Each structure stands twice: as structure tokens, then as C-alpha cells.
Amino acid sequence: MRDFQTTIAGRITLSGAGVHSGAPVSLTFLPADPDTGIVFHRGDGKGDTHPIKALVSQVGTTDLSTTLTNGAGLTISTVEHVMAAIAGAGIDNMTIEIDGPEVPILDGTSLAFLDAFEEAGFVRQAAKRRFIRILKPTRIESGASWAEFRPHDGTRYEVEIDFETPVIGRQKFAADMDERTFRKEIARARTFGFMRDVEKLWAAGLALGSSLDNSLVIGDDNSVINPGGLRYKDEFVRHKTLDAIGDLALAGAPFIGCFRSYRGGHRLNAAMLRGLLSDHSAFEIVEMAGKRSQSRGATLVAVNAPVFAPWVL
């Protein structure tokens, strides 16, 4: 775990199409001061930009993706892949300028965002990084689906999915997550869907930017129709883990604990995060203190949550 907050070293821009609108959109990533957090600035088409903080308190709809909104009624949808890349790269502070209502889908993963951040470079800032440390198990259920946070020494994900479709079936991914693991095991896993569902979405004017270049598609014969097939034998659950990382990055600080889910999705992830942050006995805000060495690690010190945790609902 990094002891100090981090931002990017320079400006960088990515462009692409929104997966649902199919419309072109550009993102520009800029360094930000300590304690800024991640803040989107969306253009309104009239020459003005409006801030939208990347916090769970700003989450609106979660039907097909995670959407952020602000008091002016402006929204930014499909934020989960870029937020996963931000969390996976260990970035705390950044401004993101966007000229449309949807983050570009690019290749349907976090990889292009991660590559862009690494190209820009990283800057260690003077402020200590703060963490949300899980103190007790917290769980929610929705039908057969459930999610929970549990205490753990590190940041761990245990995500399980269960589809009747044989090509997916029941898959589980579990790992302690750091920058290296995210890049190697998660960042390249593509979003996925069924051809029959994509056709329905097209008819409804949605998924207009979806293609085999940015989505893993399962055909009517229950096989993957993308040339080249799967990147991982369990690519489906790895992408669900990517989504969870992006959704939980909306806590406003990295967590120390284990997140577990079964048959989860954006709605369940957001509900679990809200449930955790609404129970102040379930977590504490901590920061690193002391120097690291091979023989002795840094100590986690609790800090004043009302002062240092603006993300708490």
C-alpha cells in the first residue's frame, strides 16, 4: 500500500464512442491537488463545465452501468471501467474533463485507461493517503444475490457469478489486489453480453456503440463469437471483478478489507457501499504512519472521520 497520495504527472486525452449512445466523446485527465479526490467536469454544450464528484453519494441509475449525477441534472454514465483503472493504478487525485454524457467504452476493459495513466506518469504528493478499514462484517442480500465486506489485512476481492449458460456457468475469482495484480489479472477482461440481449438493446436505441471490438459476445448457440475467443478461461468473472473495483472506488478512498459477492452487479455494489458507509461502527478512517522497512511495516493510525471522510453519507 502506498503511504502518500498520488496524482498523474501530466495531461493526457483519450477519445472514443459511448457504448450505449454510439456518440463520440473525449476524456482529458489532469493532475489535481492533494485531497481533491476524483472529480469529473462535464461540458454542458454552452461553454460551461460542471463538476461531478466520483462518489457513491452521486450515483444515480445502475441498470446497465454506473451513472453519476449532480444537482444540475447532468449525468455521466459508464464510469466503472475508468474508475477501476484509477483504483488499479493507485491514483487518489485527478480532474477528468469530459465533453459528453458517457465515458467512451474503448476496448471494453480498463487497459487503455491504465496505459494512458502510466504514459502520463505518477507524482507522489505530500499528503498521507487515507484508507477505509473494515472493522466488522457487513452484508446485504437481494434475492439469491448477496455482497459483504469483511475485515482483512489488505485489499481483497472474492467475486462469484453463476449463469445457466454453459459457456459461463459458475465462476469465482479471488485475489488480494494491488497495482501489479490488477494489470495482470483484471485490466484486460472485457465486458460481455448475449447476442439476443444486444439485439433487443439496439432496437431500444441502446448499445449503439457495442461491437466485437469492445464486448465479449455469446451467440445463440451459447458459444463466444469473438475471433480469438477468451483472453482468460474465466474472463467473465474477471470482468465482474473489474466492475466491482470500479464501483467500490466511489467510496472516495481505498478500503482495507475483503469484498465478497455472489451474482452481483452495479446495483448491488452501490447498495453494499452505501450500507457500509452508513454504519460508522463498521469501518474507520486510517492513514499510514512510520517508515517502512524489510523488517517492520508502517502502522495504520485512525484519524478523525468527520473531518477526513467527506465521502461518508
pLDDT tens-digit series, residues 154-193: 999 999 999 999 999 999 999 999 999 999 999 999 999 8
Measure the CA–CA gap between 89 and 86, rounded to whole angstroms. 5
Predicted pLDDT of residue 69: 94
The answer to whether residues 273 and 261 touch, using CB atoms and an 8 Å cutoff, is: no
**Per-residue pLDDT band at 295 (split at 50, 70, 90):** very low
Residue 91 reports pLDDT greater than 70: yes
The answer to whether residues 37 and 249 touch, using CB atoms and an 8 Å cutoff, is: no
> What percent of the chain is predicted at pLDDT more than 90?
76
Residue 41 reports pLDDT greater than 60: yes
Binding residues for Zn(2+): 81, 239, 243
Predicted pLDDT of residue 284: 97
Predicted pLDDT of residue 44: 65
Grid cell digits, residue 53 = 464528484
Amino acid at 90: G
**Per-residue pLDDT band at 47 (split at 50, 70, 90):** low
Q: Is pLDDT larger for residue 7 or for residue 193?
A: 7
Predicted pLDDT of residue 307: 38
Three-state DSSP string of the chain: CCCEEEEECCCEEEEEEECCCCCEEEEEEEECCCCCCEEEEEECCCCCEEEEECCHHHECCCCCCCCEECCCCCEEECCHHHHHHHHHHCCCCEEEEECCCECECCCCCCHHHHHHHHHHCEEEEEEECEEEEECCCEEEEECCEEEEEECCCCEEEEEEEECCCCCCCEEEEEEECCHHHHHHHHCCCCCEEEHHHHHHHHHCCCCCCCCCCCCEEECCCCCECCCCCCCCCCHHHHHHHHHHHHHHHHHCCCEEEEEEEECCCHHHHHHHHHHHHHCCCCEEEEEEECCCCCCCCCEEEECCHHHHCCCCC
State the angle between helix axes of 80-89 and 111-120 in degrees (0 to 180), rounded to the nearest 10: 40
Burial of 305 (0-12, 13-18, 19+ CB in 10 A): middle
Catalytic residue among 20, 41, 266, 280: 266
Predicted pLDDT of residue 109: 98
Measure the CA–CA gap between 149 and 258, rounded to whole angstroms. 6
214-239 pLDDT tens trace: 999 999 888 999 999 999 999 999 99
* 280 a catalytic residue: no
Binding residues: 81, 239, 243
Task: Please state which of the ranges 7-21, 78-92, 205-219 shows the lowest mean pLDDT.
Answer: 205-219
Measure the CA–CA gap between 100 and 43, rounded to whole angstroms. 7
**Per-residue pLDDT band at 303 (split at 50, 70, 90):** confident
Residue 312 reports pLDDT greater than 50: no
Predicted pLDDT of residue 178: 96
Predicted pLDDT of residue 296: 45
Domains, the chain, ordered by start: 4-128 (3.30.230.20), 131-188+228-308 (3.30.1700.10)
Residue 311 reports pLDDT greater than 60: no
The chain-wide mean pLDDT, for the chain, equals 91
Predicted pLDDT of residue 200: 82
Predicted pLDDT of residue 310: 43
Q: Is pLDDT larger for residue 137 or for residue 202?
A: 137
Instruction: Indicate left, alpha or beta for 213 from its phi (over 0: left) and psi (-120 to 50: alpha).
Output: alpha
Looking at residues 36-56, what average pLDDT do you find?
Answer: 88
Looking at residues 51-61, what average pLDDT do you find?
Answer: 95
